[in-house]
Chain A
């Protein structure tokens, strides 16, 4: 292993069934169902997936869902807004803990 991430590994995702086929099948069936058109459109789900990909900073997911959102007809403005949603929630999640910090600060202060 020369690098931790290899773009070609994305194509091999299905190979995880090699070591444990039953759980892999359950996962991929579930995965497939999640992304089907439902109460949300497949396009909306792809944008959510893209945003989450950035939150968890998964290069495979960013690769896959950038392609997927393009294939679902999204444009530059839409994909970047999705990333900002991720960034806002992620930043907000840090910042909202400031309340906890302030609580503690006040608790300890005269």
Chain B
């Protein structure tokens, strides 16, 4: 398993431009055609609910499917100044939730400051924690208590309830460390009944196939994690892998790209298209630029706003409400089957 990002390897698919070109050059039904067929094109936005802030690409893991191409060799992280701009914008917005993602967001030196400041604004905070960060270094061991203090909702990836599949996707030894971290979160009250501390897990397939039924998987994960490790959690979100960055590279390299895209296209669900999360989300990049979602961010597809309004420093909630979502072939990943979002299925 490579321990370097595509960026560090200088891979052809490391650049957003090449990825978009690759995705758009294949002879498949354009995503916009599907939207047009149900009078959804161009895709409009709904009232803003979630500020999803990507605080940087730095990560302690190099997962094979990562759409961010995150890793220890990535240095792009959000500065405190940009975080302050996000806070200013957040106050002006009607968003009720701030979703912090990365990389490993906790590796940003201003992460804790940012959480504390968001907490003062009385917004719900979600942190997408990769689990292993908690046990990776002594300085992170108190993260469960820090999360608890600020009533942070923890959302963590765990592709399977055993080591083989988890480690094949996320790296050698990741499952064992994830179990340790989950136990620490449980000890702090996370995922425990009546604690009010929410611990949700994310399942995403370890390969070129679609996720199973979310409820059936949740049942299975709950039973296995409880009986094998005495671990409890609240909900499981089943997320489809989108053909972006490392997962796109994997599809291409393994010869699965065409059949995977066919699978996504054949599974297009109009109900899922209605409810895609980008319609009520604003995604903010480490450098403060605005996107419709984290995937568009990685493909460098900025919002359709005028150039002068594309940065968080020029945050204009009314103008944002008038925009149309930028879509492309990768969007099929969010509309297949029961749909997919950062909160699991949508249809």
Contact = CB atoms under 8 A, between A and B. Distances in A.
Interface of A: 37, 41-43, 67, 70-73, 75-76
B216 A67 contact: no
A71 B217 contact: no
B209 A73 contact: no
A41 B212 CA distance: 12
Contacts of B220: 43, 73
Contacts of B213: 42, 72
A43 B207 contact: no
Contact of A75 (B165, B203, B210, B211): B165
Interface of B, secondary structure class, is loop
Contacts of A76: 164-165
A67 B208 CA distance: 9
B209 A42 contact: no
Interface in B192-239: 203, 205, 207, 209-213, 216-217, 220
B160 interface: yes
26 contacts: A37-B216, A41-B216, A42-B213, A42-B216, A43-B212, A43-B220, A67-B209, A70-B205, A70-B207, A70-B209, A71-B205, A71-B211, A71-B212, A72-B212, A72-B213, A72-B216, A73-B160, A73-B212, A73-B216, A73-B220, A75-B160, A75-B162, A75-B164, A75-B165, A76-B164, A76-B165
A30 to B, nearest CB: 22
B216 A43 contact: yes
Contacts of A70: 205, 207, 209
Nearest to A66: B209
Contacts of A37: 216
B159 to A, nearest CB: 10
B280 to A, nearest CB: 28
Contacts of B209: 67, 70-71
Question: 4 closest Cβ contacts across the A-B interface?
Answer: A73-B212, A70-B209, A72-B212, A71-B209
Given A41-B216, A43-B216, A71 B210 contact: yes
Nearest to B160: A75
Contacts of A67: 209
Given A41-B216, A73-B203, A75-B160, 19 more contacts: A37-B216, A42-B213, A43-B212, A43-B216, A43-B220, A67-B209, A70-B207, A70-B209, A71-B209, A71-B210, A71-B212, A72-B212, A72-B213, A73-B160, A73-B212, A73-B217, A75-B162, A75-B165, A76-B164
